[in-house]
Amino acid sequence: MAHSTQDHQTGSTIALGYSSLDQEVVLDRLPVSGNIPSWLQGSLLRNGPGKFEAGQQSYRHWFDGFSMLHRFTFQQGQVAYANRFLHSDAYEQSMREQRIIGSAFATDPCKAVFKKTQSALIINANVSVDQMVNDFVAMTEAPVPVRFDPHTLDTLGVVEYDERLTGHHGCAHPHHDSSGEIVSFMTEFGPQSEFKVFAIGNVEPPQRRLIGSYRVATPSYIHSFSISEHYIIIAEYPYQVHPLDLMSAGKPFIENFKWFPEHGTRFVVMDKQDGHVVRTFQSEAFFCFHHINAFERDGDIFVDLAAHPDPTIVRGLYLDQLRGDLQNVEIPAPSEFRRYHLPLGSSATSASYERITEVSIELPTINYRRYNAREYGVAYGVCTDRQNPEVVSDQLVRVDVRNKSALIWSEENCYPGEPVFVEAPAAKHEDDGVVLSVVLNGQRGNSFLLVLDAHTFQEIGRAEVPHHIPFGFHGLFFPGVK
C-alpha cells in the first residue's frame, strides 16, 4: 500500500490523499452523474485521519492523523455530504495549544496507553465507526469508543463502561454476533499480560461481559479477529512486544514491536459460550491487519484474511514515504487473500492455507449482515495494479470466493478507498446491491463517491465532492440515518 518515489508525478498525486483537509462543510446536494438507485436510502458514515498537523508539529504516520467523520446521505437518487472533525479533548487542546496532545500509533512516546483511565483527552478515534446499542461511535485501538451524533456529526463524549474490565490496547473492528451481542477484545499489558475477549449486550448503559481470557508473555500486535458460528478465532502474529519496553523504551507504541518469524503465527480458537481455549494451531509466520470472514464446515474452521509476509507494511505507511519525500523506499509485498484451514475435527496442530486469488486485497468487506461467520461467496477490497506497484491502492476488486475469480474496477489517476456493500431491497442473492467507495481523483484534485453494481462491478453513478478527502480507513452504511 506504500509507493516508491520513482514516478514523481504519481507521487505528488498520491500525496494529496495524505494532506490535511481543514474545512468542515455541509452540502445539501452533490453533483451526480449516472444513476444513483432510488432504493438507496440512508447514510454512509466514514472515519479516517483528516489533519496531520498541530501548529509546527506533524504526525509521522498515516494512522495518527486527527479523526474526521464523513457522511454521505442518499435520498431519491440525490446525495448530500458533510464532514466534521471528531472534536475530542485531544483535538480541541491540540488546536488550542498548537501542538500534538494525546496518544498516537507511531508519533509520540508510548505513555498514554498506561493511564489508569482513558478519557477523551487521549483518544483520537480515527479508525472506524459502528453502532452500539443506541450509540453511534468512532473507534480506534484504544478500548474506549467515542460517541457522535450521526446526523450532525457532533462529538458527544466517550462511552462509559463498567470499569471492572480493564485493558490497554483494543480492537476497532468488533463483531456483531447472531446472539445480538457485540464481541471484541483488548490486551492488558504488564508483567503477566492478558488477552481478554468480551461481549457488549443490548442494554443501557452498555456493559462489558468477559467471555474468556488467557495470559501471554509477549503480546502480539493484533488489529482484528474473526468469529464463526461457535468460536472466536484470534491470530497471534510474531510481531510482538515485551511489555516492559512499552513502559521504558521511550518509543512510539508500534516501534516497540519486533518481528520474530521463527515463532510463526498461532491461531487461538476460543469457545463463544464459556470462553475456554478449545485448540491452538501453528502456521508459518505472516502478518495481517484485516480478517475477511470465518466459518465452520464439517467440524473444521476456515479463516479468510488479507495476509502480508511480514510487517513491512507498517513501516511503509509513514507519511514521509507516502508523500514521496524519501528516495529508495522499501515497497511492501502485496497482501494475499488466504484461506487458513484449522482442522478442529482432527488431532492435527498445524494450520495450512490456500490462496483464493492471485489479486491482492486489503480493506476487505463482505455482505456482513447476512454472511459474517457463515460460508460465503463474495468479498470486496482494494488492490494495486501489478504493473504500477509504486502507488497505493489504485483498484477495487470483487472476488468470487467459490470460483476463485476476480473483477476489477479502475480509472486512470484514481485511488479508491474501502468498498462498502449495501444490500438491495428484496435481495435474492448475496451480491444483490451496490458497492460504495470514496475515490481520490488525482487528475482533478478532488474526491467522489463511486457507486458500483455489486454483481457486475460496473459503475452505476458517482457524486462529486468539491474538495479532496484524505485517504480514510473504514465506514458503514446505516439505512436509518437520513
Write the CATH number for 103: 2.130.10
Query: Tens of pLDDT along the chain (482 residues)?
Result: 333 333 333 445 788 999 999 999 999 999 999 999 999 999 999 999 999 999 999 999 999 999 999 999 999 999 999 999 999 888 999 999 999 987 678 887 655 555 544 444 458 999 999 999 889 999 999 888 999 999 999 999 999 887 688 999 999 999 999 999 999 999 999 999 999 999 998 887 788 999 999 999 999 999 999 999 999 999 999 999 999 888 777 889 999 999 999 999 999 999 999 999 999 999 999 999 999 999 999 999 999 999 999 999 999 899 988 888 656 667 788 899 999 999 999 999 999 999 999 999 999 999 999 999 999 999 999 998 877 665 668 999 999 999 999 999 999 999 999 999 999 999 999 999 999 999 999 999 999 999 999 999 999 999 999 999 999 999 999 998 98
Which amino acid is it at 253? F
Give the type of residue at 292: I
Report if residue 1 sits inside a domain: no
Phi then psi dihedrals of residue 440, to 5 deg: -85, 125
d(CA 288, CA 412): 29
Residues 6+ apart with CB under 8 A from 426: none
Residue 3 falls within a domain, yes or no? no
* Separation of alpha carbons 354 and 283, rounded Å: 12
Element (H or E) spanning 247, and its range? helix 243-248
Give how many domains the chain has, as a whole number: 1
98 CB contacts (<8 Å, ≥6 apart)? 54, 55, 56, 57
CA 36 – CA 448 distance, rounded (Å): 13
Task: Name the 3-class secondary structure at 26.
Answer: strand
How many Å apart are CA 360 and CA 386, to the nearest integer?
9
Distance CA 189, CA 193 (A): 5
Per the domain annotation, does 267 fall within a domain?
yes
Residue 411 CA to residue 245 CA, distance in Å, equals 45
- Nearest alpha-carbon partner for 50 in 477, 468, 478, 475: 468
CA distance 451 to 30: 14
Joined together, the cell numbers standing for residue 137 give 461511535
396 neighbors 378 (Cβ within 8 angstroms): no
Q: Is 145 exposed, middle or buried (0-12, 13-18, 19+ CB in 10 A)?
A: buried
- Kindly list the distances between the CA atom of residue 97 and the CA atoms of 56, 93, 286, 464, in Å, as whole numbers in the listed order: 11, 6, 41, 35
Residue 88 within a domain: yes
The answer to whether residue 271 is domain-embedded is yes
In the numeric block, which cell numbers belong to residue 70?
Answer: 464523513
Residue 53, beta-bridge partner list: 58
pLDDT at position 123, please?
80
- What is d(CA 170, CA 110) in angstroms, rounded to the nearest whole number? 15
Domain with 346 in it: 8-478
What's at 22, amino acid-wise?
Answer: D
Around Cβ 238, how many Cβ atoms within 10 Å? 23
pLDDT at position 109, please? 62
- Give the type of residue at 166: T
Binding residues for Fe cation: 173, 223, 290, 474
Beta strands in 174-276 (DSSP E): 175-176, 182-188, 193-200, 208-216, 226-227, 231-236, 239-240, 258-259, 265-271
Q: Is residue 159 part of a domain?
A: yes
Q: How far apart are CA 471 and CA 456, in angstroms?
A: 25
Which whole-number Å values give the CA distances from 442 to 236, 389, 471, in the listed order? 38, 17, 12
Q: Which of 301, 283, 274 is nearest to 213 (CA)?
A: 274
Within a domain: 298: yes
pTM, full prediction: 0.94
For residues 332, 338, 343, 349, the Cα torsion angle rounded to the nearest 10 degrees is -10
> CB–CB of 277/214 below 8 Å?
yes
Helices (H), 253-395: 312-315, 319-322, 368-371
DSSP per residue, 90-109: HHHHHHHHTS--S--SSSSB
Count of Cβ atoms closer than 10 Å to residue 77 Cβ:
13
- pLDDT on residue 256: 95
Residue with cell 476488486: 397
Binding residues, as ranges, are 173, 223, 290, 474
List strands edge to edge, sheet with 42-51. 26-27, 78-85, 66-75, 42-51, 474-478
431's CB contacts (< 8 A; 6+ apart) are 367, 377, 378, 398, 421, 454, 455
- Asked whether residue 2 is domain-assigned, the answer is no
